Structure 1
Amino acid sequence: MSLLPGNPLLLYVTDPMCAWCYGFTPVIRRLNALWFGRLTVQVLVGGLNPYAHDPLSAPERDKLAVNWHRSQRKSLLPFDYSFFLQKDAQYDTEPACRALLTVRHLRPGLSLEVLRALHSAFFADGLDLSNTRVLVEVLRPFGIPENLFLAVFETDEIYRQTQEEFQLVEQMGVSTLPSVYLDHAQGPRLISRGFCELPELEERLLQALQIPY
């Protein structure tokens, strides 16, 4: 048996357009700050609803709206519900995931901050994250040059890598977003599935760190 390393890698499986992830990302950011130097957080794009090109049906809208309301009650974060007033609203999360993966390649240290900004842009400001111009504007304050971002974001390679990451997440057995895993040579260990508060997440993490492989 081998113990987990002293500076473990935490895998945060998320999606910029996932309401529960929007509520949970502040928890991950606080954990990352509290454990600075003792823990590394890597963001994985889970693909909540990628490649969706048809407008949402009425039942899909209702289910999604209820999900947003529940997340808002739990997280106390602002939500803009104008999305549901759009006649032909689509819910394709692939472009936002690809943008986040692009940032992870270009500026890996900014992944969590950019994720937070994408969450806020979609849920609080009601912006369309399937629009490349919107993505560029969200990233502008982070100092990532537009031409550099687009040079990666629009390549066949980043499309392929995004799809492969969706597949990787599926192979990991992720069934709920957000989910948190501890990485290890013998396979990721599930720490948290769904939303939880910081004390609970820390307790689960400490318990996992004490369990030998």
Structure 2
Amino acid sequence: MMGGLRPGTEEPMTAQSKAEIRNHWQHVHERSGQAFDFDFFERDGFVYDTDPAARAVVAVRAENPELELPFLERVQRAFYAENRDVTQAETLADLAEEMGLEREPFLMRLQSDAVRDATRLDYATSRNAGVQGFPTLVVGPNAEGTYTMLTHGYRGADELMPLVAKVLEAHGAAT
């Protein structure tokens, strides 16, 4: 599900917000090795609205659920490591084409009420699961339709996999 880091943001980033985010990205890079293109912070007037990228992932899910995670990874790499503007529909359509999707149908889905509604539902489900920041890993839904937060914040695979195994064991799934 898409959590909605900064959906609906309308104001350009300030020098202070750039400094805070740059610090966060540096910390993520140090912990995980994730590549970042710090030239991002040289942009003037950038409005950091994550809704278009989230809707793009939901649009891909609607077309081909098996492409959802690979597309999410591609969008994140394009934004963080390649400094591409994933707030723009044309950039997102370029990425969808890279995944083998047709541009015009993708753009139509991206702007559709159905995808907007599904994205808002993802945001609401995320909030109801207790997600307040990213990265966060939740599991579910269970038989009652609820989600359980597994971890908040970055964890390496060596820390994360025992938690996943414990949850799977508790739910009677094979590990």
| Common fold by TM > 0.5 | yes
* One of 98, 114, 139 as aligned partner of 1:141: 98
Residue 212 of structure 1 deviates from its aligned partner by 5.7
* Structure 2: runs of 5+ lacking an equivalent: none
* One of 163, 166, 169 as aligned partner of 1:207: 166
Q: Is the 1:82–1:126 contact (alpha carbons within 8 Å) kept by the matching residues of 2?
A: yes
- Structure 2 CA distance, aligned partners of 1:188 and 1:157? 23
Q: Is the 1:178–1:195 contact (alpha carbons within 8 Å) kept by the matching residues of 2?
A: yes
More strand by percentage: 1
Q: Is the 1:121–1:127 contact (alpha carbons within 8 Å) kept by the matching residues of 2?
A: yes
- Structure 1 CA distance, aligned partners of 2:74 and 2:171? 37
- Structure 1 CA distance, aligned partners of 2:25 and 2:34? 10
Tell me what 1:114 maps to: 71
List per-residue Cα deviations over 1:122-161 (Å, max 9, x = no partner).
Answer: 0111000011111111111211111221121111221122
Equivalent residues in 2 for 1:1-80 (5 A)?
44-80=1-37
Runs of 4+ in 1 over 6 A off after TM superposition: none
Q: Secondary structure at the match of 1:71?
A: helix
Residue 117 of structure 1 deviates from its aligned partner by 0.7
Q: How many equivalent pairs are there? A: 170
Tell me what 1:161 maps to: 118
* One of 181, 187, 196 as aligned partner of 2:138: 181
Tell me what 1:197 maps to: 156
- Structure 2 CA distance, aligned partners of 1:178 and 1:112? 15
Tell me what 1:23 maps to: none
Q: Is the 1:178–1:193 contact (alpha carbons within 8 Å) kept by the matching residues of 2?
A: yes
List per-residue Cα deviations over 1:60-108 (Å, max 9, x = no partner).
Answer: 1111110011111112132111221112121100000000010111110
TM-score, length basis structure 2: 0.91
Q: Considering Cα pairs closer than 8 Å and 6+ residues apart, tell me whether 1 or 2 has the greater RCO.
A: 1
Select between 128-137 and 79-88 the one with higher mean Cα deviation: 79-88
- Structure 2 CA distance, aligned partners of 1:210 and 1:113? 27
Q: Secondary structure at the match of 2:70?
A: helix
* Structure 1: runs of 5+ lacking an equivalent: 1-43
